[in-house]
Every structure is written in C-alpha cells, then in structure tokens.
C-alpha cells in the first residue's frame, strides 16, 4: 500500500519546483503523478494536512487520483482546508483524525480593473465555485444549492460534523472496545460481553490450576461476583 502526503501549500508545477529549490513543503500535480505511477499496489493512502492553495492544481490532483482506478483511502491528519478538501473528496474512504478539521469556502482572487473586468472575474469565480461544489456533491450526495451555501459561509467541520454531513466516512481510532448487547426480555439484564470474557478466562485458569480435592466454593463465589458486576480488574 503506497502513501502519498498532501502537505504544505497546494501549488502549480512551476511554483512547486520553486518551493523544492528552497526546501519549502508543498504539493503539486507532477509530484503526485509520480507517486501514483510508482505505486504498484491497488490501494493508495493519502495523508492530508494542508491549508489549501491553487484550486486548479487541486483539481488536477483530484482528477489524477480518481482516474487511477485505485482504492484511495484518505487520512485527514490535521487540516484539510479549501483546495485540500477538494483533494480529500477523491477518497473512496475518507477518515478524519478526531483532532482534525475540514474547511470549505468559495474561491477568491486578487483582481483589479474596471467594472467590466471585475464583473468578468465574478462570473469566473461563480463558475469555479460550482465546479468545486460538484466534487463535494459527488462525495456527500447533498444538493449543490446547500453545498454552495456552506461554502458561502466558510464552513469549518470537526471530525463528527464532517462524517454527519457526508464529507468523511469515519473517525480514526474510534473502534469500540465492546459491542452493545441488545435485549428483548421481560426479566433481568443479560450479562455484558466483558463479564462473559472474564468468566471464560476464569474457567480457563481454574481448569489449569485446580488440584484434585480442592474445594469449589471459591470458583462459585467468583462466578457470582462477575455476574453481579462485583469483579474488579480491566
């Protein structure tokens, strides 16, 4: 299973080479393409911790990942903001660290000129927003109007909110130690799985340690203690 890090600013290839020269962390399309090409496994793990960057570079990376036909597992380790959140949507499975955040917002640009120039830039930005929203829409199943509203208000999501809204599939390290026991009974409570496990361990130890003629009262008392929830230990 190959790993690809999406860290630092997301930039174009030219800017990426500039960053590489000065030892500045960045992610750019050629770098990701080389990592995909060198990976012979059917699965790629994408580790994301980025504030975002160039929306077109992010679009190129998103497309590369989707077009690779590999199973993409995304781990959002820190922040997946802006363009980085778009790349995260390429994941077949998106996992959020419990301490991570995802942020989505509308595209922005620094522009100057007359009213016609600025009006044109506004149309371009609206078109970019709709294309970004499509990646979110494909992942979440939400309608585009609702997604654009979330983008308009610059929405920050913790792990639980991202999963609830469909931007992520699961929270990392959230494996339950014990499955719930469902009951449909008129009397009493069924013993918990923890009690059953303690009971089985006790029986195994007793079989190994019991000597001929040893009284059995102590074993009976330990069994009752477990069933009544009085047995200590972890």
Mean pLDDT, residues 146-154 taken together:
96
Q: Are residues 211 and 147 in the same domain?
A: no
Q: How far is CA 66 from CA 38, 88, 96, 110, 175, in A?
A: 16, 11, 20, 30, 28
d(CA 183, CA 23): 60
Report the number of distinct structural domains present in the chain: 2
Residues linked to residue 45 through DSSP beta bridges, in sequence order: 3, 73
Predicted TM-score (pTM) above 0.75: no
What proportion of the chain, given as a percentage, has pLDDT over 70?
74
Q: Are residues 29 and 68 in the same domain?
A: yes
Q: Are residues 167 and 185 in the same domain?
A: no
Q: Are residues 103 and 202 in the same domain?
A: no
d(CA 211, CA 206): 9
| CATH code of 25's domain | 3.90.226.10
Domain boundary among 150, 171, 192: 171
Give the domain extent around 62: 2-171
Q: Are residues 163 and 183 in the same domain?
A: no
Q: Measured between alpha carbons, how far apart are the two ends of the chain, in Å? A: 35
Q: Are residues 167 and 197 in the same domain?
A: no
The tens digit of pLDDT for each residue in 191-208 reads 566 666 666 666 666 666
- Read off the pLDDT band of 229 (50, 70, 90): low
The tens digit of pLDDT for each residue in 107-126 reads 876 677 788 777 777 788 88
Name the residue with higher pLDDT: 139 or 201. 139
Length of the chain: 234
Q: Are residues 132 and 199 in the same domain?
A: no
Q: Are residues 117 and 144 in the same domain?
A: yes
Domain boundary among 171, 193, 222: 171
Domain boundary among 171, 192, 209: 171
Q: Are residues 50 and 145 in the same domain?
A: yes
pLDDT(79) > 60? yes
Q: Are residues 100 and 204 in the same domain?
A: no
pLDDT(210) > 60? no
Q: Are residues 55 and 123 in the same domain?
A: yes
Question: Which pLDDT does position 35 carry in this prediction?
Answer: 95
Name the residue with higher pLDDT: 80 or 124. 80
Q: Are residues 91 and 203 in the same domain?
A: no
Q: What phi-psi label fits residue 49: left (phi over 0), alpha (psi between -120 and 50 degrees) or beta? A: beta
Question: Which pLDDT does position 107 carry in this prediction?
Answer: 80
- Please give, one letter per residue, the 3-state secondary structure of the chain: CEEEEEECEECCHHHHHHHHHCCCCEECHHHHHHHHHHCCCCEEEEEEEECCECHHHHHHHHHHHHHCCCEEEEEEEEEEECHHHHHHCCCCEEEECCCCEEEECCCCCCCCCCHHHHHHHHHHHHHHHHHHHHHHHHHHCCCHHHHHHHHHCCEEEEHHHHHHHCCCCEECCCCCCCCCCCCCCCCCCCCCHHHHHHHHHHHHHHHHHCCCCCCCHHHHHHHHHHHCCCCCCC
d(CA 75, CA 68): 18
């Amino acid at each position: 299973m190959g790993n690809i890090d999406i860290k630092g600013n997301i930039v174009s290839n030219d800017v990426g080479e500039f960053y590489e020269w000065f030892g500045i962390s960045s992610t750019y399309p050629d770098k990701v393409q080389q990592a995909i090409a060198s990976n012979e496994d059917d699965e790629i793990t994408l580790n994301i911790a980025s504030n975002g960057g160039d929306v077109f570079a992010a679009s190129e990376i998103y497309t590369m990942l989707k077009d690779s036909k590999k199973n993409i597992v995304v781990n959002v380790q820190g922040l997946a903001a802006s363009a980085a959140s778009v790349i995260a949507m390429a994941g077949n499975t998106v996992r959020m660290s419990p301490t991570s955040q995802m942020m989505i917002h509308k595209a922005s640009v620094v522009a100057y000129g007359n009213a016609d120039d600025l009006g044109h830039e506004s149309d371009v930005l609206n078109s970019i927003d709709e294309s970004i929203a499509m990646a979110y829409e494909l992942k979440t199943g939400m309608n585009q109007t609702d997604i654009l509203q979330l983008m308009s208000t610059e929405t920050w999501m913790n792990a639980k909110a991202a999963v609830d809204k469909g931007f992520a599939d699961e929270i990392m390290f959230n494996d339950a130690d014990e499955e719930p026991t469902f009951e449909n009974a008129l009397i009493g409570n069924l013993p918990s799985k923890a009690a059953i496990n303690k009971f089985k361990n006790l029986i195994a130890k007793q079989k190994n340690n019991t000597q001929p003629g040893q009284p059995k009262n102590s074993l009976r008392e330990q069994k009752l203690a477990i069933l009544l929830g009085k047995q200590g230990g972890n």
